[in-house]
Amino acid sequence: MALTDEAIGKIKEMIISGRVRPGEKLPREADLAAELGLSRNSLREAVKALTLVNVLDVRQGDGTYATSLAPSLLLEALSFIIDFHRDDTVLEFLEVRRILEPAATGLAAIRMSAEEKAELGKILDAVTVDSPVDDFVATDLEFHKKIAVGSGNSVLASLVDNMSLPTARARIWRGMTEPRALERTLAEHRAIHGAILSCDADLARSWATVHIAGIETWLRTTLRD
């Protein structure tokens, strides 16, 4: 095992074991290196690596802290990686969305507050079938993100948000080329919203599946043709 990997493993174990809790300050470098049996160079490299993935936070002149370790913070690294996706992987992202979003939508139907459900309706009302496609898709992204957050599961919400962004260009393409695409999308969004308003988790999951599968089927057919 490389010395840096060993150092990363030991710091990770400190956090997992509760020796250092989220938000707490790590011992100063010399003391931590001695405690873990590491060279200071290995420790510094490990700290740099863990800072990049938001596990540690180096505060100049103060010290090194464990972050809050919130899922949204830790999954930012996933967002960075996803930015490098290729166009030929968009279908794979849609497949993942078809797995994740119905689950998030079903949870949102039973967990969103009345106020959150009303805000979701306002997002829907912000566009019509005559809105510019770019504006329509931006609102589409906001609609799905609001539902994911409403699931009450921060890990699921972060994953849904990260999986959604790479498909935005395909959604714009569909809106510009497929007849009545915006009308169909808006109708499906309203059906999803209606199921959420009714606290009907099964119906909300079903409509979310139909909605994502429709985009996936269109893209698969378009790429094949």
Q: What CATH number is given to the structural domain containing 22?
A: 1.10.10.10
Predicted confidence at residue 1, as pLDDT, reads 47
Together in a domain, 151 and 181: yes
Instruction: Give me 209's structure tokens.
Output: 């599946």
Segments forming the whole domain that contains residue 100: 74-224
Q: What is the mean pLDDT of each run of 10 residues along the chain (225 residues)?
A: 79 90 92 90 90 89 90 70 63 89 96 96 93 91 95 91 79 82 93 97 96 88 78
Say yes or no: 57 and 104 in one domain: no
If one counts the domains in the chain, the total is 2
- Secondary-structure breakdown of the chain: helix, strand, coil percentages, each rounded to the nearest 5: 75, 5, 20
H or E element in which residue 95 lies: helix 90-111
The domain boundary residue, chosen from 69, 96, 116:
69
pLDDT value at position 82? 59
Residue 150 phi/psi, 5-degree rounding, is -70, -15
Residue found under tokens 């808006």? 186
Q: Which of 39, 69, 99 is the last residue of a domain?
A: 69
SS3 (DSSP) at 59: strand
Indicate the pTM of the whole model: 0.71
